[in-house]
Amino acid sequence: MVLRRGYNNQSERIEPSTFLRCFQAIFAGLILFQAVLIGGLFYYGSWAAIAAVIQQPEFHFALKLTLWTSLVATALTAFVALPSGYVLSRCRIPGQAFVDTLLDIPIVLPPLISGIALLILFGPLLGEHLTKLGLEIVFSPRGVVIAQWFIATPFAIKAIKQAFDSIDPRMEKVARTLGFTPGRVFCKVTLPLAKNGIISGLIMAWTRALGEFGATAMLAGITRMKTETLSVAIFLNMTVGDLEFAISTAIVMLMIALISLVILKVFLRTEVMV
């Protein structure tokens, strides 16, 4: 295994010690486990079944719903996580521990409980007002977006805050003295410098949204051909015993996630190399 000094990105080989070999063994074990896990899924499914499933209208509906809801949820996440991450990185916040805990709630709570909380907020508490405005959330695709957004946002905030933390604030100060207003400094200096961290954070948010199930089930319901995302489709078909549909859908979901991640990672690496 070629080891690289990660801290400065130089690809110098370093001599592995026994200590490092132990860590390598654990790491190799984890990779093997993941590979076997994914391999098992592929082994259990069949290409013929996948070909049949991807032609079914139910699959088309679930795929479309999953893609558009997860992308809208990711856009909303970006809208919230960029300013929040910046504030957390640059400002001294009174009651920091309390604020951090509040932000972590969607991470530490089981998604089902987050879903119940969302259901109460958008049902009994705000439901009537939202209905008057024509914005029904509960048991609708909008609910899917809200649930995905709620679960994905804290992950993006953490990653984006870290990206902003890694920028020397003096880079921004120099831009101010060169004539840029704070808003333009953010667009012209901070965002380009944090670009890779922001994209990574949003990819993480998107993959969380793509696979979201618990909170979606509570807020948007599990209704075939209405709020049926790919995860919901897998659950629905598992419960009625259609294993073929469920496993084929799972494999397709896995493929979508893997291909998207690989493309983005290659793109990001190319960007870094420029």
Partner 1 sequence: MKPALFEVENIYVQAGSFQLREVSFSLEAGEYLVILGPTGCGKTMLLETLAGLRCPARGKVFLKGNDITLTPPEARRFGFAYQDSLLYPFLNVKDNILFGAKAQNRHQEPEILSRVDKLAEAMGIAHLLNRFPRFLSGGEKQRVSLARAILTHPPLLLLDEPLSSLDPQTRRSMQELLQEIHRAEELGTIHVTHDFNEALQMGTHLLVMNQGLVLQQGNPLEVFSQPASLNIANFLMGENLLQGRIEWREERAWFAQSGSDNVRIGPLNECKLPNKEAQEVTLLIRAGNLVLSSDSHESLAVNSWNCRIAQINWHSTHVEIICRGQENYRVVMSGAEWKRMNLQKGSPVRLSADVNDVHLLEE
Is the distance from CB of 85 to CB of 166 less than 8 angstroms? Answer: no
Give the binding site for partner 1 (CB under 8 A).
168, 170-171, 173-181, 184, 188-189, 192-193, 195
Least distance (Å) between residue 8 CB and partner 1:
11
* Residue nearer to partner 1 on the CB measure, 89 or 114: 89
Distances (CA, A) of 226 to 74, 140, 185, 230: 21, 7, 44, 12
HSE (side-chain half, CA atoms, 13 Å) at 244? 10
* Residue nearer to partner 1 on the CB measure, 55 or 270: 270
Least distance (Å) between residue 92 CB and partner 1:
10
* Residue nearer to partner 1 on the CB measure, 137 or 175: 175
Check residue 274 and report its DSSP letter.
-
Residue 9 Ramachandran class (φ > 0 left, ψ -120 to 50 alpha, else beta): left
* Residue nearer to partner 1 on the CB measure, 53 or 189: 189
Report the candidate in 156, 143, 141 with the shortest Cα–Cα distance to residue 77: 156
Distances (CA, A) of 222 to 64, 71, 145: 16, 20, 14
Check residue 56 and report its DSSP letter.
S
* Residue nearer to partner 1 on the CB measure, 188 or 226: 188
* Residue nearer to partner 1 on the CB measure, 189 or 247: 189
Least distance (Å) between residue 44 CB and partner 1:
46
Least distance (Å) between residue 172 CB and partner 1:
10
Alpha helices, DSSP H, located in the chain: 18-44, 47-53, 57-90, 96-108, 111-120, 127-132, 141-165, 169-177, 182-185, 191-211, 214-219, 230-239, 243-273
> What's the distance, CA 210 to chain centroid?
7
Least distance (Å) between residue 160 CB and partner 1:
18
* Residue nearer to partner 1 on the CB measure, 90 or 195: 195
Encoded tokens for 72: 């809208």
* Residue nearer to partner 1 on the CB measure, 71 or 191: 191
Least distance (Å) between residue 203 CB and partner 1:
20
Least distance (Å) between residue 166 CB and partner 1:
12
Least distance (Å) between residue 177 CB and partner 1:
4
Alpha-carbon torsion 224, 230, 234, 237, what sign? positive
Encoded tokens for 221: 């319901």
